[in-house]
Amino acid sequence: MRVIIHRDAEAATRAVSAFFAEQLAAKPASVLGLATGGTMEGVYAELIELYRAGKMSFAKARSFNLDEYLGLPADHPQTYRHYMDERLFRHVDFPPNATHLPDGTSADPEKAAEDYEALIARYGPIDLQLLGLGANGHIGFNEPSSSLGSRTRIKTLTHATIEANGRFFEDGEWQPHQALTMGIATILDARSVLVLAFGAGKAEAVAQVVEGPISARWPGTALQMHRHATLVLDEAAASDLTMRDYYQWVQANDG
């Protein structure tokens, strides 16, 4: 696992956008794996700016998102489809019907999960998979105790994840406790994986994922088995790492 440490989240975010620019320049018809959450907002803002500057195009690309809540109506502002439409898709040039998320409104979510896995297999493998890292080590919605061989499926969210995501919902509003998510084995099928973690609240998870034993207790540790996994951190998220001389520290004048 390659570990790159930047001075702050802003510098790290710029670096991540450069990974995407390089991927699409090398392979315009790339299959991209995308993620949601606060960490990703800056990344998508950077991608939009690169697109508007004529430095990036998604015109031949296709995307698959990691997950979607179960039970929210399609027009709910907290669906991940809405998140992606507002923060990326409607601002760039993805072709029609080229952006995919699991169907969180399906009357048969188990079949929806199977269909999503089949769709990834049809168009994949995913060339570049973007991931966040939960404070409990989850990737996608693969919470602690998830099978490291799991595929796209229904997953019940932990109380910690529900609480962390509660800030996006109105007081008293019903909040989903389940989601459809790519499984860990699905994620590991990607040709390359790019993981972001910012802030001291992610430091323990980062240390476990990079230096700890592979364990379902910390699902992100499965990435140690990936041949092309890169973890992009700010200094706060890297603060619990012990093999500090081994990692790539980007100097303060990085850009």
Is the Cβ–Cβ distance between 182 and 140 less than 8 Å? yes
Band (163; pLDDT cuts 50, 70, 90): confident
Q: What is the 3-state secondary structure (H, E, C) of the chain?
A: CEEEEECCHHHHHHHHHHHHHHHHHHCCCCEEEECCCHHHHHHHHHHHHHHHCCCCCCCCCEEEECEEECCCCCCCCCCHHHHHHHHCHHHCCCCCCCEECCCCCCCCHHHHHHHHHHHHHHHCCCCEEEEECCCCCCECCECCCCCCCCCCEEEECCHHHHHHHHHHCCCCCCCCCEEEECCHHHHHCCCEEEEEECCHHHHHHHHHHHHCCCECCEHHHHHHHCCCEEEEEECCCCCCCCCHHHCEECCCCCC
pLDDT in tens, 116-130: 999 999 999 999 999
Q: What is the mean pLDDT of the chain?
A: 95
Q: Residue 139 has what pLDDT?
A: 97
- For residues 157-166, give the mean pLDDT: 87
Q: Residue 170 has what pLDDT?
A: 83
Q: Residue 174 has what pLDDT?
A: 86
Count other Cβ atoms within 10 Å, centred on residue 111: 11
pLDDT over 70 (residue 254): no
Q: Residue 251 has what pLDDT?
A: 64
Query: Hey, which residues are catalytic here?
Result: 67, 136, 138, 143
Span of 96-105, 139-148, 200-209, 245-254 with lowest mean pLDDT: 245-254
pLDDT over 80 (residue 253): no
Count other Cβ atoms within 10 Å, centred on residue 224: 14
- CATH numbers and ranges of domains, the chain: 2-249 (3.40.50.1360)
CA 158 centroid distance within chain: 18
pLDDT over 80 (residue 79): yes
pLDDT over 80 (residue 58): yes
State what percent of residues in the chain have pLDDT above 90.
Answer: 87
Q: Residue 255 has what pLDDT?
A: 44
